[in-house]
Amino acid sequence: MKKSFTLIELMIVILLISLVYALSISSFKMEKKKEFNLDIYNIKDFLIKNFEYTKNLSFVCTKEQNLPCYVFIDEKLVENLKIENFFSQEVRVYNYDKLLSDYEFKTVSINNSEYQPFFELTFNKDFKHKNMIVETSNSKIFLLSSLSNEVKVFNSTNEILDRFNDLEIEVKDAF
């Protein structure tokens, strides 16, 4: 006597496989539709994980109405991607140096119009960006360092200068 599967057993297995497949596809679609809460704390992670580029990747916020932000991949605007309300007001951006000199931004061209940015985060091909300090209107000061994915928050620029001096002393002591 030869043992084998019955037709009913095979149908049950096929039904179970189909059910698992359907559930996995529907949960994948639901996950994809989930809205991403974008802010200064997760902007670096968002850009690196969601965009591929060869030369550079830029996130640029302009002084237009509603302070919209745009993404540029290899200096080309990503069409149909306009992020509004990333900042509620213009921010002040400094270079991360002893003088806290103002960060210089180049004008950007969007739909054949020139705009002056007030914030720009640009990654090079090695996923690095210039270190910068962002001062917001609610007295929070953020340090965006290319050495860390974590955005550090300070209460004043003096705290940042103290940290800068401490790190400078550490480096000198190391040599």
For every residue of 93-141, which 3-state class applies, written as one string? EEECCCCCCECCCCCEEECCEEECEEEEEEECCCCCCCCEEEECCCCCE
Instruction: Report domain extents, the chain.
Output: 43-174
pLDDT average, residue stretch 106-129: 91
**Percentage of the chain with pLDDT > 70?**
93
The residue type at 154: F
pLDDT average, residue stretch 130-141: 87
Contacts of 1-5 spanning 24+ positions with Cβ under 8 A:
none
pLDDT in tens, 11-51: 999 999 999 988 887 666 544 444 567 888 999 988 988 89
Q: Are 135 and 129 in contact (CB under 8 A)?
A: no
pLDDT above 60 (res 56): yes
Confidence (pLDDT) at 34: 47
Residue with tokens 């103002």: 102
Residue with tokens 């002893």: 98
As a dihedral over the C-alpha atoms of residue 59, residue 95, residue 133, residue 97, rounded to 10 degrees, the angle is 150
Please name which of 146, 151, 78 lies closest in space to residue 108, comparing C-alpha atoms: 78
Residue 172 to residue 175: CA distance in whole angstroms: 5
Phi and psi at residue 42, in whole multiples of 5°?
-120, 15
Report residue 79 as tokens: 């069409």
Confidence (pLDDT) at 35: 55
DSSP H or E segment with residue 3:
none
Residue with tokens 């290319």: 146
pLDDT average, residue stretch 47-57: 92
Residue 8 to residue 126: CA distance in whole angstroms: 57
pTM attached to this predicted model = 0.73
